Amino acid sequence: MSLREEILEVSKELLIKEGFSKLSMRRIAERADVSATSIYLYFKNKDDLLLALIEESIENLKASLMEVVDASKGFLMQLEDMARAYIEYALNHPQEYEIIYMVRPEEMPKYPKEKFMNIRSGYELLADIIREGHDQEQIDVEDALINAYTLWAQLHGVVSVILNKRLDTRIPQQQFIEQALENIIRGFVMQKTQA
């Protein structure tokens, strides 16, 4: 692992445990057992370091989603695969997932607002699939982006219930995921085809 990667890993752990406001270059340096000045060789400041963490996490999520996009599959299968990949990524990489959504633009004034638009890439992939389903006359939607955002919000809710340990202990996690996916995807398709 390179020093830059080690700094990012330590920063990720501290960010999750203590939050952005308590994250400091000095604290990161202590934890990584390096001098604070060595961190500045890779990152201008705390905002720059956080930007690198967010961008890395977004790129990893996007790569996971892109792996399942396959135009040869039908609309419904692509939608299901994308939803499943989103949930699996979040559960397999909870720290990265949390970093993507934990920092608000107002908490990081130097963070370019256009960079936050990268977070949209996940539901823009969903929107493309929904448009494809509409073009193939499999669903009737007026606005693919709004529908994709609604689907993303539902998936995010499922993930949040699990990661925040809010799932009723009487419900097996995998069964919850499968039922949620069925309700979200099939409900969406059924509702849209009846419109």
Give the CATH number of the domain where residue 14 resides. 1.10.10.60
- Beta-carbon contacts of residue 2 (< 8 Å; ≥ 6 apart): none
pLDDT in the model for residue 48: 86
Averaged pLDDT, 103-107 = 61
CA angle 20, 21, 27 (to 5 degrees): 80
Residue 49 covered by a domain: no
| Residues 92 and 154 grouped into a single domain | yes
Long-range contacts, stretch 113-117, CB < 8 angstroms, 24+ apart: 115/51, 115/54, 115/55
Asked if the structure places residue 101 within a domain, the reply is yes
Written as one string, the DSSP assignment of 39-55 is HTTT-SSHHHHHHHHHH
For residue 48, tell me if it sits in a domain: no
Instruction: Tell me whether residue 137 is in a domain.
Output: yes
The parent domain of residue 183 ranges over: 55-194
How much is the pTM? 0.84
Residue 70 lies in a domain: yes
Q: Are residues 87 and 36 located together in one domain of the fold?
A: no
24 and 114 together in one domain: no
Q: Are residues 33 and 60 in the same domain?
A: no
Same domain, 33 and 79: no
Q: Are residues 181 and 105 in the same domain?
A: yes
Same domain, 23 and 85: no
| 121 and 174 fall within a common domain | yes
Looking at the structure, tell me whether residues 85 and 154 fall in a common domain.
Answer: yes
Residue 71 included in any domain? yes
Same domain as 149, residue 188: yes
177: tokens are 């995921």
CATH number at residue 186: 1.10.357.10
Any alpha helices (H) in the chain, and if so which ranges?
Answer: 3-18, 25-32, 36-39, 46-68, 75-92, 94-102, 113-116, 121-135, 144-163, 173-181, 187-194
The proportion of the chain whose per-residue pLDDT surpasses 70, expressed as a percent, equals: 88
Q: Residue 50: inside a domain, yes or no?
A: no
Q: Are residues 120 and 162 in the same domain?
A: yes
Q: What angle do CA 77, 83, 89 make, to 5 degrees?
A: 130
Count of domains for the chain: 2
Confidence bin at 16 (pLDDT 50/70/90)? confident
Whether residues 82 and 12 fall in one domain: no
| The predicted structure's pLDDT at residue 193 | 55
The C-alpha atoms of residue 99 and residue 113 are separated, in whole angstroms, by 16
141 Cβ partners below 8 Å, 6+ apart? 130, 133, 134, 147, 192, 195
Domain-embedded: residue 177: yes
Q: Look at residue 51 in the predicted model and tell me its pLDDT.
A: 85
Query: Is residue 191 over pLDDT 60?
Result: no
Confidence of residue 195 (pLDDT cuts 50, 70, 90): low
